[in-house]
C-alpha cells in the first residue's frame, strides 16, 4: 500500500514537471529582405524562434557555397535588454566550409565594442541545399531574456578578392520586432 501511494506521488510530480517543461507559447517572427546584393550570401529572410530553452535564428540566402572564395559570413546582433541601448550579444559566423563561429558579448554594433566569448551552449549549422544558416543559442547563455530582437548583416567576397557591401536585414542597424518567449 505504501508503495502504491509513493508511486502515485511520483507520478503527480512527474506530471507537474512535464507541464512546466512543455513549450507554453513558443513565439516567432519572420522577416523578408529584398534581393539586393549581387552575391550568393544575399540575405533573403530571417526567422527568430524564441523557444522554451533556446533562441534559434535561421537566415536564408540566395546561393551559399562551400568554398572559402565565397567569403560569405554574417553577424546576428541580439538585443535582450530594452533598457540598455543596442545589442548585448553578437553571433558571428563564416558560411563556408572550414570557418568557425562564436557568440560574443557586445556593447554595440561596431566590432570594436565586441567583448568576450559567451560561455554556454550555442551552435551554428549551414545547409547548402536549403540555403539556410541556423544559429541556436541557449536562453541560459543569453541570460534568460524575457524577449529578444535581432539585427542581421551579411557580406561576401567577390572573385577579384574585394569584399561586397554589407547586406543588412532592412535598414542598417535596424532590429526586428521583439519576440517574447
**Residues at the interface with Ca ion (CB under 5 A):** 33, 36, 42-43, 79, 81, 84, 167
Least distance in angstroms from the C-beta of 85 to Ca ion = 6
What number of other Cβ atoms are within 10 A of residue 128's Cβ?
15
Q: How far is the CB of 91 from Ca ion (least distance, A)?
A: 15
Q: How far is the CB of 141 from Ca ion (least distance, A)?
A: 16
Smallest distance from the beta carbon of 62 to Ca ion, in angstroms? 8
Task: Give the number of other CB atoms < 10 A from CB of residue 46.
Answer: 22
- Complex with Ca ion: residue 35 or 123, whichever CB lies closer: 35
Which set of grid coordinates corresponds to residue 140? 541560459
Q: Which residues have a Cβ under 8 Å from the Cβ of 72 and sit 6 or more positions away?
A: 39, 40, 41, 61, 64, 65, 94, 95, 96, 154, 155, 156, 157
Of 95, 96, 77, 97, the C-alpha closest to 87 is: 77
CB burial of 65-95 (b: ≥16 within 10 Å; e: otherwise) equals beeeebbbbbbbbbbbeeeeebbbbbbbbbb
- Residue 167 CB, shortest distance to Ca ion, in Å, is 5
CA distance linking residue 76 with residue 169, whole number of Å: 10
Among residues 63 and 84, whose Cβ is nearest to Ca ion?
Answer: 84
The rounded distance, in Å, linking the Cα atoms of 149 and 9 is 41
Amino acid at each position: 500500500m505504501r508503495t502504491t501511494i509513493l508511486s502515485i506521488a511520483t507520478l503527480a510530480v512527474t506530471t507537474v514537471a512535464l507541464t512546466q517543461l512543455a513549450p507554453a507559447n513558443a513565439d516567432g517572427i519572420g522577416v523578408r529582405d529584398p534581393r539586393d546584393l549581387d552575391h550568393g550570401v544575399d540575405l533573403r529572410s530571417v526567422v527568430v524562434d524564441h523557444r522554451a530553452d533556446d533562441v534559434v535564428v535561421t537566415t536564408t540566402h540566395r546561393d551559399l557555397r562551400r568554398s572559402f572564395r565565397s567569403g560569405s559570413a554574417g553577424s546576428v546582433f541580439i538585443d535582450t535588454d530594452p533598457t540598455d541601448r543596442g545589442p548585448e550579444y553578437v553571433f558571428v559566423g563564416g558560411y563556408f566550409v572550414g570557418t568557425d563561429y562564436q557568440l560574443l558579448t557586445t556593447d554595440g554594433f561596431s566590432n570594436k565594442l565586441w567583448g568576450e566569448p559567451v560561455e554556454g551552449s550555442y551552435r551554428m549549422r549551414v545547409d547548402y541545399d536549403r540555403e539556410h544558416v541556423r544559429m541556436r543559442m541557449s536562453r541560459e547563455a543569453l541570460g534568460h531574456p524575457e524577449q529578444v530582437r535581432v539585427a542581421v548583416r551579411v557580406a561576401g567576397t567577390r572573385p577579384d578578392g574585394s569584399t561586397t557591401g554589407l547586406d543588412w536585414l532592412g535598414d542598417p542597424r535596424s532590429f526586428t520586432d521583439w519576440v517574447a518567449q
